[in-house]
Structure 1
Amino acid sequence: MLTELLSFRGRYKILHMTWFAFFLSFFVWFNLAPLATQVKADFGLEVSQIRTLAICNVALTVPARIIIGMLLDRFGPRITYSLLLIYAAIPCITFASAQNFTQLVISRLALSIVGAGFVIGIRMVAEWFPPKEIGLAEGIYGGWGNFGSAGAALTLPTIGAWLAFGALNPQTGEALLNWRLCIAGSGVVAALYGILYFFNVQDHPPGKVYQKPKSARGLEVTSVGDFWFLMLMNLPLSGILGVLAWRLKKVGLYGDNTLYLVWAGLAALYLFQAYNCLVVNKDLLSGRKKYPPKDRYSFSQVAILELTYVVNFGSELAVVSMLPAFYEGTFALNKALAGMIAASYAFMNLASRPGGGFISDRLGSRKNTMAILTAGMGIGYLMMGGVNDGWWLPLAILLTMACSFFVQAGEGSTFAIVPLVKRRVTGQIAGNVGAYGNVGAVAYLTIFSLLPEWLSGGGEQTAAVIAQSNTVFFQMMGVAALIVAFMCWFLLKEPKGSFAEHHEGEEDESGLNQGSEIPVGMNPNDII
């Protein structure tokens, strides 16, 4: 596969076009961060308001990943990805033309839906690559596409300065950025690529059948116990949105009454989701339907994968948010140098995530790969909790990059398993697992923001308190990762057909033998 990767034919064309679609969705999703300073200056915003926009940027990604997963299983990745990329232009243009803070908030909330694009490519890549190569293929998709956030940070300030035609701020003398054209333009580019994507990809190779669930309203499970487990695991998806609503209230976006209305709406959302799952699984719950052993899957495996994504992708989003300030405060660096060092954490995505998938393909056990990488991540975070101003800076940087490798390789190994759990509901499973990554990010960042206040007892937040909060933060993530590693080692099961030539159900669905066009059960000698 590695030698064929440079080609742009067949399944490799699909892989390259799909990871670039993911790249553009993340480029658009994170197009505010590098331009936030200019937006803040133009609108005269306070720091709390800019942080509110950052929260809005991820607010609807959790439910969007669930909904996108349902649409994906129903309509296929080609239509779903194309429409999402075309949709991206609408909130980008709306944000770029905003005239007040409320308009910024609304358009950013709408843009957070684009962050759900990741789950679409998971199914597309799984349709085109066999289980034995799924780890590396999904890793390349996730790792190279995820670099879109870094791409935005690297290019948008330069493009913004160029579009401002060299204009300078009369008060500071710094270059002005034309952030409006940058953000609107990124949305337009995404939309144009969505059209290109629609006319240049197919949902599956010729001769294969795109397996769909009977209903995409809710996740189909195969036992009564799994249904109630699903209901339990859906609670954090709505609960974390309640935490986000509380955060928005704390920065003064609205009052108590509005908060209570939002919480009531989230409770209704959970009940609506539960009702849809009930409708999909009603025959199972009533006893009218029983799944044969070969058609069953264990939802507990999905739950463990959700938790792995909490501790790897959730922690990555949290660490990326705090790492520049961590280096700046710990080693007394200037902002530019601290930002460059912190960027090494994100740059590792280019190799680490494909590396995790490649290791999963080659080690011979996807569950053991998951456990080892998650344990390495936990140990890395515990070691980072010990970093202080007495450390040699290059050693701290090497430790950060090593920890980053385990985090992102763990992400790659997670989605080397996701497409193998149950193929016909891969979109919904990927949506649930992906949504839990955002659940982890919000949970970690909320705790991180509250730690200084807790550790200071509500008093002065000195440099020593900040340093202690950083230590506790890394230790918390390390312990959480080790607990999940233990669950992977002892509770996660090896997916059926992890290294097979064909996905589960392909023979039965297509009526063909593996690797041939001879109908199942027919003697090749009968064909003249």
Structure 2
Amino acid sequence: MLATGALAVNFWAWSLLGPLASRYAADLSLTPLKLSVLLAVPIVIGSLGRIPIGVLTDRYGGRRVFSLLSFFAALPVVWLALADTYTTLIAAAVLLGTAGTSFAVGVPFVAAWYPPERRGFALGVYGMGNIGTAISGFLTPRLAEVFDRQVAYFVAALALCVFGTAMALLGRNAPNWRPAEGSAWSRLSLAVYDRTTWDLSLVYAVTFGAFVAFGVYLPALLKVSYGLTMTDAATRAAGFVLFATIARPLGGFLSDKIGGQTVVRVALIATVCLAAVVAFQPTLALPTTVAYLSLAVALGCGNGAVVALVGRLSKPERVGSITGVVGASGGLGGFFPPLVLGFTYQATRSYSLALLMLAATAALVFIYIHLRFRAMKTADVG
């Protein structure tokens, strides 16, 4: 639970810009494309950074890395509180991306405590730390309204320091954990040259990438598409993230019971159908809300299943490295959608095309991974 809490506050920090996007756009007269770039920068940094962070976790252990990372992430959060130009916001957003690397720390840290047949659910519970995105969507705009933007950032920075201290004092690596041997490059190479790593990375790029993109951009999408206030849009987006987060351990649990491959297939098919449905919803009526929340559940189950497969199929000394690569792919999958959303809206004054592109991408990935799963001979017989 300590690792889940640490992940939550890091994801809270990682998602700070999204709930305040419309305010920044108004204050700095940002175009949709400029706003998309600002929101996307922490995503790409947090994604690519998962690769070295995963390697470092295999070598130095999750307790130490999680603690130091939380303290470091507090620095750009404080910088954001002081930033007042687009250039300084971009610079702070680059460093803010380090908070997003935290996911790659906790997977090997948690997996080492459980046997393979129980890792799916355990990693799903850890993945519930994604709720930090929902916390950000709910708390950040309210703190900004009641107090001001600076207070919202300082509260998040304080939370990071609290959990950094807690992890340093109370965290423990698993009794059977041993530092990985060999150079960082050799361990990373073993992960990179494993085709299963890239198969899972492709799926995670869709499921987690869409989750990240919606968590960051959904407040702006709902505000523009349905005329909601900033607070209302951020609250509804937080609900989307909450449903996806709760579904994550469900995906891990189902992976333990019926196989991660089966869960991945169903999640991708559901994503195809539901993304196509929400693309053609002109009003935010009950069916639209149900479709969005169902899409959140599909993405959450898919995320849980992918991480369960990583924990089950990876050798203990490579879990961090493989998680880093898979996690980076998922985060990068969340980098491009905000840019596509901003570009397509600027060109068409609608987000429908971008949502249809998500459906088409999920369909292509389903076809590929279905064929790959049929060819694979693994311990997971989904």
Task: Say yes or no: does 1:356 pair with 2:251.
Answer: yes
In structure 2, the CA distance between the partners of 1:71 and 1:484, relative to structure 1 (3 Å rule), is same
Cα displacement (A) at 1:133: 1.3
- Select 2:171's aligned residue among 197, 201, 213: 201
Cα displacement (A) at 1:78: 0.6
Cα displacement (A) at 1:32: 2.6
Task: Say yes or no: does 1:381 pair with 2:275.
Answer: yes
Q: Secondary structure at the match of 1:199?
A: helix
Q: 2: distance between equivalents of 1:135 and 1:148?
A: 21
Asked whether the 8 Å contact 1:378–1:481 carries over to 2, the reply is: no
Asked whether the 8 Å contact 1:32–1:183 carries over to 2, the reply is: no
Cα displacement (A) at 1:361: 1.1
Task: Say yes or no: does 1:146 pair with 2:144.
Answer: no
Asked whether the 8 Å contact 2:40–2:339 carries over to 1, the reply is: no
- Counterparts of 1:34-433 in structure 2, within 5 Å, are 34-39=19-24, 44-47=28-31, 49-98=34-83, 100-143=85-128, 145-162=129-146, 164=147, 177=148, 179-205=149-175, 208-210=176-178, 212-220=180-188, 230=193, 299-324=194-219, 332-335=226-229, 339-363=234-258, 365-385=259-279, 387-389=280-282, 393-420=285-312, 421-433=314-326
Q: 2: distance between equivalents of 1:407 and 1:302?
A: 19
Output the amino acid matched with 1:191. C
Output the amino acid matched with 2:260. R
Q: List per-residue Cα deviations over 1:140-192 (Å, max 9, x = no partner).
A: 1112x101011022112333344x3xxxxxxxxxxxx2x22321332233123
Q: 1: distance between equivalents of 2:241 and 2:248?
A: 11
Asked whether the 8 Å contact 1:311–1:480 carries over to 2, the reply is: no
Q: 1: distance between equivalents of 2:232 and 2:78?
A: 33
Q: Percent identity between the aligned chains? A: 23
Aligned-pair Cα RMSD in Å? 2.9
Normalised to the residue count of structure 2, the TM-score between the two structures is: 0.88
In structure 2, the CA distance between the partners of 1:338 and 1:105, relative to structure 1 (3 Å rule), is closer
Cα displacement (A) at 1:407: 1.1
In structure 2, the CA distance between the partners of 1:382 and 1:433, relative to structure 1 (3 Å rule), is same
Q: List per-residue Cα deviations over 1:392-432 (Å, max 9, x = no partner).
A: 92222222222221111010010001123222111110000
State the match for 1:440 in structure 2. 333
- Counterparts of 1:496-511 in structure 2, within 5 Å, are none
Q: List per-residue Cα deviations over 1:469-526 (Å, max 9, x = no partner).
A: 2453343234234224424532444347x9xxxxxxxxxxxxxxxxxxxxxxxxxxxx
Is the helix fraction higher in 1 or 2?
2
Q: Secondary structure at the match of 2:187?
A: coil
Asked whether the 8 Å contact 1:85–1:191 carries over to 2, the reply is: yes
Aligned structure 1 segments of 4 or more residues deviating by more than 6 angstroms: none
State the match for 2:4 in structure 1. 19
Bigger Cα displacement from structure 2, 408-417 vs 319-328: 319-328
Q: List per-residue Cα deviations over 1:232-285 (Å, max 9, x = no partner).
A: xxxxxxxxxxxxxxxxxxxxxxxxxxxxxxxxxxxxxxxxxxxxxxxxxxxxxx
Cα displacement (A) at 1:63: 2.4
Q: 2: distance between equivalents of 1:160 and 1:328?
A: 17
Output the amino acid matched with 1:494. T
Q: Secondary structure at the match of 1:210?
A: coil
Output the amino acid matched with 1:214. G
Task: Say yes or no: does 1:469 pair with 2:353.
Answer: yes
Give the gaps of 5 or more residues in structure 1. 1-15, 165-176, 231-298, 499-528
Cα displacement (A) at 1:106: 1.6
In structure 2, the CA distance between the partners of 1:440 and 1:127, relative to structure 1 (3 Å rule), is same
Q: Which has the larger radius of gyration?
A: 1
Count of aligned positions: 379
Q: 2: distance between equivalents of 1:482 and 1:118?
A: 25
Asked whether the 8 Å contact 1:370–1:488 carries over to 2, the reply is: no
Q: Secondary structure at the match of 1:388?
A: coil
Q: 2: distance between equivalents of 1:60 and 1:138?
A: 23
State the match for 1:494 in structure 2. 378
In structure 2, the CA distance between the partners of 1:352 and 1:32, relative to structure 1 (3 Å rule), is same
Higher relative contact order (CA 8 A, sep 6+): 2
